[in-house]
Copies of this chain bind each other. A is one copy, B any other.
């Protein structure tokens, strides 16, 4: 099981050279629906909130990331993390969509992409604090994004999956040091 983990992790780390600046560290354990059919992991449910998981993954540094992976793994979450920087909102959107599809988190259907798209738009509204706009507002973002698929929370073990997108980074003028932090979270049924 641990080897299975490492393999996937290495696969992801090898993808650093992506054209659209998306670096993904991806972790696949078991899909969430199998979680409800099996017994709880030893030690029980440690962190089973899809939104909090997405937020913590987005704000985590490398060290915290490892701890998050082993916690989320016990709850059967499917996770993906990457980075994107742009003055164009569509680049942020398409990078996250590409990451979700390439890492096999989505099944390729329009339904699932529609769910991811709306989660991304909602997270972007947190980033832009209102209307979505980057270059038009003379501002640029540098963001870490997370995608999480799984249980909405510990009370919804019998339900189907939800999807959460977390965004964390900086927004500001295209000038070094002239930026401050931003955060966004979007959640949709999938």
A residues in contact (CB < 8 Å) with B: 49-52, 55-56, 59, 88-90, 93-94, 97, 109-111, 113-115, 117-118, 121-122, 125-126, 129-133, 135-138, 152-153, 155-156, 159-160, 162, 164, 166, 168, 172-173, 177-189
Closest Cβ of chain B to A121, distance in Å, is: 7
With a cutoff of 8 Å between Cβ atoms, the chain B residues found around residue A122 in the complex are 129
15 contacts between A and B (CB under 8 A): A49-B181, A50-B181, A90-B138, A110-B178, A113-B173, A114-B180, A115-B189, A126-B126, A126-B129, A126-B184, A130-B130, A131-B131, A132-B136, A156-B177, A164-B181
Q: How many copies does the complex hold?
A: 6
Closest Cβ of chain B to A34, distance in Å, is: 19
Closest Cβ of chain B to A109, distance in Å, is: 7
Tell me whether A185 and B126 are in contact (CB under 8 A): yes
Beyond A89-B136, A114-B189, 10 additional contacts (C-beta under 8 Å) are: A51-B183, A52-B181, A88-B136, A110-B156, A114-B178, A125-B129, A156-B177, A162-B180, A182-B187, A183-B184
